[in-house]
Chains A and B, each alone.
Chain A
Amino acid sequence: MTSQNPEVKLLGAWASPYVARARIALHLKEVQYEFLEEKFSAKSELLLKSNPVYKKIPVLIHDGKSVCESMIIVQYIDDVWASSGPALMPGDAYERAMHRFWTIYIDNKFIPSLFDMMTSPTEEAKVEAKEQTMASLQLLEEAFGKISKGKPFFGGDTIGYLDIALGSFLGWMKAFEEMNSPKLLDKSNTPLLCAWAENICNNEAVSAVLPETAKLVEFATVTQTRFKYAPPAK
């Protein structure tokens, strides 16, 4: 779906779920963009110039102007390409607040515990992170029930802001399950999220962007010193 349109560029990396958020939004809105892959070993001049505060991906560069922070980028894409594709944010102010609140929850609570579960230095810390992760998933399961109102996505009939916030991490969640983490989504504990995960992964904008589980597992294993991850004995 990428093209050499100089107007829209995205600085990113294939394995980053934060970058996936921006890409899913761009695909849903049918925006043609140039994907510039950053290397882990050295940050590009363009990245340092366009995100001097954080020096992190993703960065969206539109008409030469940079937009940073994944969910800020998603809102920007929704605003600028409002007439293309589905609205990513709900129309109602209270529903928007719910999408924003749960996205902050995902970023501040769920994601740190998800990664801590795999990378914490002690077994005790891993167990605590696992409990926090499973508890978070229960809360997200309940939230889905309330917010989706029986529809397939948090956004209703179409993928929305909160779907992107959480769905972007499904690649890593599946990879962790392969790497011996507990089953994160299962039909008995989180039936709604299981169905949601299937629906979202079947969506073309998402499947085009989410990396294959096997590639992520390989990536994690190869860069285990970077992640300080020691695979548990089987």
Chain B
Amino acid sequence: MVASAAVRLFGMWASPAVRRVEWALKLKGIEYEYIEEDLSNKSSSLLEFNPINKQVPVLVHNGNPIVESLVILEYIDETWKDNPILPVDPLERSKARFWATFVDVKCREESRKAFFMEGEEKEKAIENLQVQLKALDEELEGKKFFSGDHIGYTDLAVGWMAFWLGVGEEAAGFKANYDLKFPNFSRWMKDFLAEPVIKDNLPPREKTVEFFRSFKQLGSCTKVNQK
């Protein structure tokens, strides 16, 4: 283990973006101090370290704050070089980044709509999400993980879907039907969640479903403010 009292992570227990950073830290064996934030009453430290977005996660290393979970992942990989999570080859790196931003921007947008909306808009969002899942399914053809035989950057980036998509479906009453339609993706979800670093670092499912259920009832996007 690389002991480093100089690493702090501001997070929130239900947040997928925060877990993404924790998975990376644990994969690298980096010790860190975790600070749980109440997002309805943000700490002065959080606001000082992230005045622009006022969101979690924020990684603070040697007093320097880093914000945006994918940016944090690249920072972690570049700073602690054991167990690299990004590939070395430039083309493979570009693909890894491509899929990461695809899920973070496009899949998240459609998932949010499927979660919060009703009726026709909900149906349209589920349709769009399925088109996206198909692309991810095809990308997994012949591979155990997005990154190959072991989990890497892309898996950590897509990882929120393995757990939170199901949570969102249960909390908001919809089904994206990936188990029926997208066998590679379904298989990947199970394999990803079975990885020790991931399995031991997930929020409790029932509590998370309940959290998102009441989150939807509030009808507000601002509570779980994370990237």
* Interface of A toward B, CB cutoff 8 Å: 52-53, 62, 65, 67-69, 72-73, 75-76, 79-80, 93-94, 96-97, 100-101, 104-105, 139
Q: Does the CB pair A101–B67 fall under 8 Å?
A: yes
Identify the 5 closest CB pairs spanning chains A and B, nearest first: A79-B90, A93-B78, A100-B71, A97-B75, A76-B94
- Determine how close the nearest CB of chain A comes to the CB of B173; give it in whole angstroms: 29
The reply on B128 being an interface residue by CB < 8 A is: no
What are 23 contact pairs spanning A and B, CB under 8 A? A53-B102, A67-B91, A67-B98, A69-B101, A72-B98, A73-B94, A75-B93, A76-B90, A76-B91, A93-B75, A94-B61, A94-B66, A94-B75, A96-B74, A96-B75, A97-B66, A97-B71, A97-B74, A100-B71, A101-B67, A101-B71, A104-B71, A105-B52
Closest chain A residue to B99, Cβ basis: A53
If the complex has contacts A65-B91, A94-B64, A105-B52, are A72 and B75 also in contact, measured as CB distance less than 8 A?
no
Given A62-B91, A97-B66, 13 extra CB contacts under 8 A: A65-B91, A67-B98, A75-B97, A76-B90, A80-B90, A93-B75, A93-B78, A93-B79, A94-B61, A94-B64, A96-B75, A97-B72, A100-B70
* Alpha-carbon distance between A105 and B102 when the two chains are bound, in angstroms: 17
Chain B residues, CB < 8 A from A100: 68, 70-71, 74
Chain A residues, CB < 8 A from B61: 94
Kindly identify which residue among B64, B74, B79, B94 contacts A72, using a CB–CB cutoff of 8 Å.
B94
Chain A residues, CB < 8 A from B94: 67, 72-73, 75-76
Kindly identify which residue among B71, B74, B93 contacts A79, using a CB–CB cutoff of 8 Å.
B93
Q: Does the CB pair B71–A72 fall under 8 Å?
A: no
The reply on B135 being an interface residue by CB < 8 A is: yes
A-B contact count (CB 8 A): 55
Most buried by A among B52, B66, B94, B97: B94
* Alpha-carbon distance between A73 and B101 when the two chains are bound, in angstroms: 13
Interface 1/0s, chain B 94-111, versus A by CB < 8 A?
A: 100110011000000000
Q: Does the CB pair B68–A101 fall under 8 Å?
A: yes
* Alpha-carbon distance between A98 and B214 when the two chains are bound, in angstroms: 35
- Determine how close the nearest CB of chain B comes to the CB of A58; give it in whole angstroms: 13
- Determine how close the nearest CB of chain A comes to the CB of B155; give it in whole angstroms: 18
Closest chain A residue to B91, Cβ basis: A65
* Alpha-carbon distance between A107 and B79 when the two chains are bound, in angstroms: 25
* Alpha-carbon distance between A69 and B61 when the two chains are bound, in angstroms: 29
Q: Does the CB pair B97–A72 fall under 8 Å?
A: yes
Kindly identify which residue among B52, B78, B93, B135 contacts A96, using a CB–CB cutoff of 8 Å.
B78
* Alpha-carbon distance between A69 and B94 when the two chains are bound, in angstroms: 9
- Determine how close the nearest CB of chain A comes to the CB of B161; give it in whole angstroms: 16
Chain A residues, CB < 8 A from B64: 94
Q: Does the CB pair A101–B90 fall under 8 Å?
A: no
